Amino acid sequence: MIQNLEAEVLATEQVGAGVYLLHLYAPDVAGSAQPGQFVHIRCSETTDPLLRRPLSIHDLGKEGELIFLYQVKGRGTAWLARQEPGSKIDILGPLGRGFTLPASKINIRIALVAGGLGVVPLLFLARRARARGYEVDFFYGAQNGERLFQAAALRALDINLHIATDDGSAGWSGPVTKLWEQYLQAGDYDRAYACGPRAELKEFARLAGEAAIPAEVSLEERMACGLGACRGCVTALRDTPGNRYYENVCTGGPVFDAATVDWED
């Protein structure tokens, strides 16, 4: 159920250059949130800036706690980074369609592929998958070792973590999709999930399709209302016959079947 309420800031922590972890106390939202969903946050005490900012739910903390990982990109997120413990923030959520985990809970192995801040929705997904007893191979790529913001949190989940960096400063040297491709050759995954830059998602979808692995991707688009009314965040999809159609990312997604996305749009 979607809630519109004031959430209390528990902590704000800078984890990198312009990158922050935000901890909010919002038990009504946290209690129903699913991996892949997002929260629409009013980043102001007034109406300037007017539009809310969509933040994917990064993780759940202690009871009632929502955790977000985000990068400051403008006035709204800069305001958010200045909020201190005890501050109240207007939020709307949880919103959107999240990831779909396999129905079976026996001998399930999944792959998660994160490019840069694409780790945001996938940490929550990895935690939920481990709670079900799934084996999780997590492929985490970044520009360099300093941009691997949540590697320690991922290791604490008892998953198979594989690191890739563009400059080779940590883990495998090269794109994270190339690292995943090596494991695909010998791997047997029941499902795969990804979030990151669109070029990486396109390559992820190609590899998953060739390996006949059901796959889902979390897409990013600029959102205004977050409720599907403004049609400002549409993405192109293809139906089974190959016809193009458009869907709101905020309501039809942000998670989509990777095979349905029109990657050439």
* Residue-range domain boundaries for the chain: 3-95, 109-220
pLDDT of residue 198: 94
Contact residues for 33 (Cβ-Cβ < 8 A; gap 6+): 57, 60, 66, 93, 94, 124
How far apart CA 21 and CA 11 sit, in angstroms, is 8
DSSP 97: B
Average pLDDT, the chain: 91
Burial 74-106 (b: 16+ CB within 10 A, else e): eebbebbbebeeebebebbbbbbbbbebeeeee
Tens-place pLDDT, residues 147-201: 999 999 999 999 999 999 999 998 899 999 999 999 987 678 999 999 999 999 9
How far apart CA 221 and CA 35 sit, in angstroms, is 18
Predicted TM-score (pTM) of this structure: 0.94
Q: Which of 65, 55, 61, 62 is nearest to 19 (CA)?
A: 55
| Beta-bridge partners for 9 | 24
Tens-place pLDDT, residues 211-263: 999 999 999 877 666 677 777 788 999 998 889 989 999 888 999 999 999 99
Burial 222-257 (b: 16+ CB within 10 A, else e): ebbbbebeeebbbbebbeeeeeeeebbbbbbbbbbe
Domain spanning 109-220, CATH architecture: 3-Layer(aba) Sandwich (3.40)
How far apart CA 183 and CA 227 sit, in angstroms, is 38
Strands 255-257 and 215-218: antiparallel
pLDDT of residue 224: 66
Q: Which of 108, 116, 118, 95 is nearest to 34 (CA)?
A: 95
Tens-place pLDDT, residues 11-61: 999 999 999 999 999 999 999 999 999 999 998 776 667 678 899 999 999
- The distance in angstroms from the start CA to the end CA of the chain is 33
Please check the confidence at residue 70 and state whether its pLDDT lies above 90: yes
Assigned CATH for 3-95? 2.40.30.10
Crossing angle of helices 198-210/176-184, nearest 10°? 10
pLDDT of residue 55: 93
pLDDT of residue 22: 97
How far apart CA 180 and CA 201 sit, in angstroms, is 12
